[in-house]
Amino acid sequence: MSESASRPDGEPGPDAGPGADGERGRGSDLDAATIERPGLGGPQGPGVRWSDQPRSWSGAPLGTQGDPAPRSAESDYGWGASAAPGPSSGPMTATPPGGFPADTGGGWGAPPPEQRRGGMLGGRGGSVGRAGLVLVAVLALVAGLVGGAIAGSLFSSGSTSGTSLEVASGDPLPPAPAGSVEAIAATVLPSTVQIVGSSGEGSGVVLSADGLIMTNNHVLAAGRGSGLQAVFADGTAAPVTLVGTAPAADIAVVRASGVGNLRPAVLGDSDQLRQGQAVVAVGSPLGLSGTVTSGIVSALERPVAAGGSGAGQESTLDAIQTDAAINPGNSGGPLADAAGRVVGINTAIASVTSGSAGQEGGSIGLGFAIPMNQARRIATELIQSGRATQAIIGVQVANGGPRGATIASVSPGGPAANAGLQAGDLVTKVDDRAIADANALVAAIQSSAPGQVVTLTVGTAGGAPRQVPVTLGSRVIG
């Protein structure tokens, strides 16, 4: 029997979330948060909520036409409503510059008659003063005409010599430094695709030059049967067909038809991730293809319910948490490290509130990705056989006290029974990983490979802890 969880009262169902355990960046419960897929799909049971409203590029629920309704003045992002027009003041009235009184003979600013008597040279010869004024006026007119001719010549020739409008000369920009967001984007963008259907869009990662693409199961679920297409980094598009899907792991593989010479992504080792290291998310949030966002690994081993499956806690992911902005449409796209290696597949977001009319809220810096080592194993099985498996130990579990997961029942003949585990045992560690609650135990087991041997630290009420090796079993999930 595969794992399921129950609440302390014994009622089956997922727990509200993990507690803090101080291990590998684990944090406190998302008590006020809602976990949502940044893509499409149905409800995931109590404790978490997956929004079921698909998104168009405009952010409105898919299936509607047009852009979102205009914002009201109250929500105009700080711009506010425009000022109400006031009464017209009529045509603008010109006044003499400087406040000089008007003079019917000399115009604006002409000196009064008594100031003209002395003439320009200070004698009684008023005609000499007038001649001087005429000479000055002629010289000013000539200077104005010459200056105007020069200025007109400059403007008519389009010359910008000596101004900041000149074309800058010099060497081109240096190459992007290794590990920079620019360098990571240049590596990952050519291997990222947009998955488009009539009901929405998501993202994907190129696995082979001849068209194999990995994405989320919930991205395909929205557009299945509606003519899905992959849109590549150069803008070309090709229809895709399903290779295989694993809803409980939220991983799917498709193949694009009639393509070649695609650039496969370089897949990294997610077991080497460290809390705080830089990562970059690439995808098509809200239909905006080729979008790059950056952040860090906020936490590791974060139990999060997978999208696209109603299996409850049996589809709990051991997720990478990041503060890189992830929004609807990023689902299925890559989360890359500083070397441009894909270390996770973006799959879910947490939001405190949702928008109106069922719309998902935006990123608040709580995004989640499926670790690449888990995604790689599932995708490999899907490509090879069209089916995938998941590890199990054959128990039902519930939260146990302040820390750990209590085994509620053991399946006869299962891995746990064969290892000697019994109902009432309290599991506090899987190998060297502390187990905070039932969700953490399920995530730790399901992120492992079937057939792998793990060591459980187990205690009973009043008993000393003991180490129990368990060889993991498997179940088909796709």
Residues 137-175: tens digit of each pLDDT:
556 565 666 566 555 554 555 566 677 787 766 778 888
pLDDT score recorded for residue 62: 35
390-476 maps to CATH 2.30.42.10: yes
Note the pLDDT of residue 363: 72
Question: What is the reported pLDDT for 299?
Answer: 97
Could you tell me which residues are beta bridge partners of residue 433?
430
Q: Domain 186-256, what architecture? A: Beta Barrel (2.40)
pLDDT at 159: 61
CB 36 within 8 A of CB 50: yes
* CA gap 478, 476 in Å, rounded: 6
The two three-digit tokens of residue 293, written as one number = 């966002």
- What's the pLDDT score for residue 135? 53
The tokens for 14 are 């997922």
pLDDT of the residue at 407: 95
- What pLDDT is attached to residue 327? 93
Q: For residue 423, what are the CA distances in angstroms to 420, 426, 441?
A: 10, 9, 15
Torsion of CA 238, 239, 244, 247, to 10 degrees: 100
pLDDT value, residue 98: 34
Q: Is the dihedral of CA 69, 73, 78, 84 positive or negative?
A: positive
Which residues form the catalytic set? 218, 250, 331
Which CB contacts under 8 angstroms, 24+ apart, belong to 182-185? 183/340, 184/280, 184/294, 184/336, 184/337, 184/338, 184/339, 184/340, 185/280, 185/282, 185/292
Domain residue spans of the chain: 186-256, 390-476
pLDDT means per 10 residues, the chain with 478 residues, are: 39 39 42 53 36 36 39 33 39 35 39 40 43 54 58 55 72 88 97 90 96 95 76 96 94 95 97 97 95 97 75 78 95 97 95 61 86 97 96 93 91 96 94 94 94 93 87 93
C-alpha 232/C-alpha 242 separation (Å) is: 17
Nearest to 325 by CA among 289, 350, 360, 356: 350
8 A C-beta contact, residue 18 and residue 302: yes
What local confidence, expressed as pLDDT, does residue 115 receive?
Answer: 42
**258-280: per-residue pLDDT in tens?**
999 999 999 999 999 999 999 99
Nearest to 299 by CA among 312, 280, 318, 325: 318
Same topology, domains 186-256 and 390-476? Answer is no
